[in-house]
Amino acid sequence: MTIYAVVDPASGETLREYPTASDDELREAIRRADQAHRSWSATAAERGALVGRVGELHHERRDELAAIITREMGKPIEQALGEVDFAAAIYGFYAENAEGLMADEPIELHDAEGSAVVRRSSVGVLLGIMPWNFPYYQVARFAGPNLVIGNTILLKHAPQCPESAEAMQQIFDDAGCPRGVYENIRATNEQIEWVIADPRVRGVSVTGSERAGSAVAAVAGRNLKKVVLELGGSDPFILLSTHDLDRTVQDAVAARLDNTGQSCNAAKRFIVADELYDAFLAKFTAAIAAVRPGDPRSPDTAIGPLSSKVAADRLEDQVARAVAQGGRIVTGGARTGNFFEPTVLVDIGPDNEAYREEFFGPVAQVYRVGSEDEAVELANATPFGLGSYLVTTDPEQAKRVADRIEAGMVYVNIVGADAPELPFGGVKRSGFGRELGRYGADEFVNKKLIRVGA
């Protein structure tokens, strides 16, 4: 039985199955990627032009690409179109900045003659292990910078996203990338172990669960391979003061429900100052309850089904355990098939498992705090440290709190502000390394020192 299949989460219907690669097919893909690396476009400008064409093809095929991921993982169609556009923008950013990102970096010498520069160059074949929740965006932020650098890519997508993976392979081929530069591989977890161990594979990037990241990092560590991990998150949304509570509530709902709540860096725990708590909870609950799950193919749908039955089962179990351990549902909590009502939980105490878990779906936890210090302590009381959100009218407070939050990203008085030029990544059990921007282009690169005497 194949593990790669398109199963429409809205209906549960299996639409198409795909064969898993044989060992020989995988070995041949590695050989092609290694061979391609030796001659992959001699200059950054040439590589940038090809990556730019990949972005253009995303724009040209946006309707087709969006429809695919709506089938595969239930993303509402308007959000699917937005994801395609964002992926295209990422390729465009790296295409436009290819030469600058690869430029020599002079080092000023002290009490010495001659010169020194750091010269960036590729390291070889990289393996990307990508998730189902953002099938195009996740690939773009890994493949975009690394192809511009001159690395070549083996891309293992999630088993439920084989159609979008195939569509991306076609885009790279049609853009003119030489064979082996970008290789879509439908591999099993067992096969991935020896792919990582292959000496021609020089690094691995994983976006996914803690379990997946830990397993891959263990294999990579044994084989002395560098790893970038972007794992889970239980991001706090801290509300300390606001001039416009209605706008803040609108931002809070958007930060929680984007992608049907299935985003690693979505706001998941809403930490509210005592004097604003009652008003916020009332307005937030009303706004959340007004969002109803619907057909993801309709442009009017804000949230669709969860990505799979497994995902829906997991979320249902988490909510049930949260309530059994003392939590209270203010609104929502019901499930129909893979559709889950937007839900608000309160009264989650430190002894509740929900206090430290990541809820991957449209479930929000709301907490009351009596001070800035209490808000920061609660925000940091999680094994995760991906992103965070802070709302305050006090600029000095914003600086203080942002410095104290244990996270890779802090967004102050703004949500939905991800951009190709901004680094993305976390700390603690959310992983390590960065993607996007200048920092995303510096992970899998040889920073070679060249020191010349007088």
Active site residues: 230, 264
Length of the chain: 454
The kind and range of the H/E element at 47 are helix 44-60
- Bridge-partner residues for 369, per DSSP? 273
Return the amino acid letter for 449.
L
Give how far Cα 395 sits from Cα of 369, 398, 403, Å.
20, 5, 13
